[in-house]
Amino acid sequence: MTSDRRILVTGASGFIGRGLVADLAGLGYEVRAASRTVAAPAAGVEPVRIGDLGGGADWRAALDGVSAVVHLAGPAHARFRETDLTRAIVDGSSALARQACAAGVRRFVLMSSIKAVTESSEAPLDECAEPRPQDGYGRAKRDAEIAVLSEASLAPVVLRPPLVHGPEARANVARLLMLANLPLPLPLADFTARRSVIALASVIAAVRCVLAAPHGPSGVFHLADQPALSIRELVAALRRGRGRSPGLFALPMVAALAPRVLRTSLIVDDARFRAAYGYGDRAHIGSAEALAATAAAWKAR
C-alpha cells in the first residue's frame, strides 16, 4: 500500500543524502534510504542496498509503497569518463523514473546541477537560459533532466543548485575551508568575480518544501542562497567563521594566474522557486552568514 509519508531517497549515504534522510525522518516521514552500503537502521529509516546505477538497475522493491522519490545518487563531478557519467546519471535516472512511474509514484525530485546550464554567467541565470553545459558532467545532468521530465505522471521537479557547502563537504569546498584556515594574509582582495553558493541546510529545506506541496508546480527550478558573493567576500566569510579577520590583500599577478572558476562569475537567480514553493517565506540566513556557519562547524569537528 502506498503511503503519502513514505519517501525513497537514493544516494542516502552521500553528502546531501545523509542530511536529508535525517531531516525527513525527524519530521515523521517513513524514509527508505537507498545506498551502496546498508547503514544501521535509525528510527523512521529503512535502509536499502542498491548496486549498479545504470539502465539495468531493478528498483521495484525499493519503490514498493513509495509516494515520492528524491534522486540524489550518482557521480558528483566530472572526473569520471563521460561514458560512465552517462550510464550512471542519464541511464540510471531514466530507468528509475520509468520504474517509479510504473509503481505509481506521484512525485519525483531530481537533484541536478547548475552545470546542466553553464559554468559561468555575469548576469543572473534563471530557468529561461538555454542550457549549454560545458563538460561531460553537465551534459549528463541535462540529459537526465530531459529523461525525468518526460515522465509527466511523476509531477517531476528538477532542482539545480550551484556549489553546495557544509562542514562535511569535500573537493572544492574542503579546499576553500583549508585555504580560509591558513593563519596568513591571502592575496585575494582583487578577486571580484561573483559566485552563487548554497548551504546544505538550504538544499534540504528546498526538498522539504517540494515534498510538503505534492500539488506544487513541476519543472526545472534553480536554487541558491542570496546574494551571490565575490570570491573575496566568500573567503572573508569563511575566515570570519574560523574566528579570523579577512586579512586579504591585492596581488594582481595571483589574480591573473588563478583558475578560471575564481576569475569568472556564476550568479544564480532562484526567484521562481521561492515564489512557487513559498521558500522565501521561511527565515533563511544569507550567503555570508551560511558560509561562516559552515566554517565554524568545520572548526568544531
Residues 7 and 156 in one domain: yes
| Cβ density class 119-150: b for 16+ within 10 Å, e for less | bebeebbebeeebebeebbbbbbbbbbebbbe
Confidence of residue 101 (pLDDT cuts 50, 70, 90): very high
At position 209, the amino acid (one-letter code) is C
Residues 140 and 187 in one domain: no
CATH number, domain with residue 181: 3.90.25
Residue 175 burial by Cβ neighbours in a 10 Å radius (0-12, 13-18, 19+): exposed
Longest dimension (CA), the chain: 64
**How distant, in Å, are the alpha carbons of 49, 55, 59, 94, 155 from that of 98?**
20, 10, 10, 6, 13
206 belongs to a structural domain: no
Residues 183 and 50 in one domain: no
212 belongs to a structural domain: no
Residues 135 and 178 in one domain: no
Residues 84 and 14 in one domain: yes
Query: What does the pLDDT read at residue 3?
Result: 66
Looking only at the bridges linking them, the beta strands covering 107-111 and 157-160 are parallel
| Cell numbers given for 283 | 527565515
Residues 177 and 110 in one domain: no
Mean of the per-residue pLDDT values for the chain?
A: 92
CATH number, domain with residue 127: 3.40.50.720
Confidence of residue 285 (pLDDT cuts 50, 70, 90): confident
Query: What does the pLDDT read at residue 137?
Result: 95
Residues 62 and 76 in one domain: yes
Query: What does the pLDDT read at residue 195?
Result: 97
Query: pLDDT at residue 53 above 90?
Result: no
Domain membership of residue 65 as a residue range: 3-160
203 belongs to a structural domain: no
| Cell numbers given for 45 | 529509516
202 belongs to a structural domain: no
Confidence of residue 170 (pLDDT cuts 50, 70, 90): confident
What residues have CB less than 8 Å from 101, skipping those under 6 apart? 151, 153, 154
d(CA 97, CA 292) in angstroms, rounded, equals: 37
Query: What does the pLDDT read at residue 52?
Result: 79
Q: Is the dihedral of CA 257, 261, 262, 265 positive or negative?
A: positive
205 belongs to a structural domain: no
Total tally of structural domains belonging to the chain: 2
300 belongs to a structural domain: yes
d(CA 89, CA 116) in angstroms, rounded, equals: 12
**Mean pLDDT over residues 93-116, rounded?**
97
Most confident stretch, 48-52, 161-165, 167-171: 161-165
Query: What does the pLDDT read at residue 65?
Result: 96
Residues 85 and 176 in one domain: no
Eight-class DSSP state of 89: I
**Mean pLDDT over residues 106-131, rounded?**
97
d(CA 111, CA 55) in angstroms, rounded, equals: 18
User: Which residue, 79, 75, 101, is CA-closest to 88?
Assistant: 75
207 belongs to a structural domain: no
pLDDT above 70 as % of the chain: 95
- Of 108, 142, 160, which marks where a domain is finished? 160
Residues 234 and 139 in one domain: no
Residues 46 and 70 in one domain: yes
Query: What does the pLDDT read at residue 37?
Result: 74
**Mean pLDDT over residues 167-189, rounded?**
91
Query: What does the pLDDT read at residue 17?
Result: 96
Residues 248 and 129 in one domain: no
Residue 126, phi-psi category: left (phi > 0), alpha (psi -120 to 50), beta (remainder): beta
Confidence of residue 55 (pLDDT cuts 50, 70, 90): confident
pLDDT tens-digit series, residues 199-238: 999 999 999 999 999 999 999 999 999 999 999 999 999 9
pLDDT tens-digit series, residues 238-278: 999 999 999 999 998 888 888 888 899 999 999 999 999 98
Q: Is the dihedral of CA 199, 149, 125, 249 positive or negative?
A: positive
285 belongs to a structural domain: yes
Residues 180 and 149 in one domain: no
